[in-house]
Amino acid sequence: MGNWVVLADALTDVDRLGVRIRDVLTGTVMSVMLVVSVVVTWRQSKSVLAAAGAFLGAAALWFAVMNAIVFRDSIGQTIKPGGGAVPPVTEGRGPGVVRVVDPAAGSGPDGEAQ
């Protein structure tokens, strides 16, 4: 029984470590990237307007990264496979394709020459 407790504690520790790494990446690294992009843009162009554009672009990217889970869930709810015009796929089968061929004149019911 003790081995299971140790395993559960190890899994909990790994999960907490993953959460902390994600927080560092989304918080600190994204902040540094925002500042660096604004500074590099300003140094290359010497334009406050270009630096402001770089700031807005980096801020939009930062917002998207911070809210990635919300965007993922909302896309899954609003975009339906098939666009809504096609009936839903059931039991792994999609809509079928039917090909209609007109028999040539003088042919039999199977389309073969008589």
pTM here is: 0.47
Question: In this predicted model, what pLDDT tens digit does every residue of 32-74 receive, in sequence order?
Answer: 888 898 999 999 999 999 999 999 998 888 888 777 777 766 6
Q: pLDDT: is 101 or 30 the higher one?
A: 30
Across residues 72-80, what is the average pLDDT?
61
Confidence of residue 2 (pLDDT cuts 50, 70, 90): low
Single-letter amino acid code for the residue at 18:
G
Question: What is the spatial distance between Cα 19 and Cα 13, in angstroms, rounded to a whole number?
Answer: 10
pLDDT of residue 28: 86
Question: What is the spatial distance between Cα 2 and Cα 8, in angstroms, rounded to a whole number?
Answer: 10
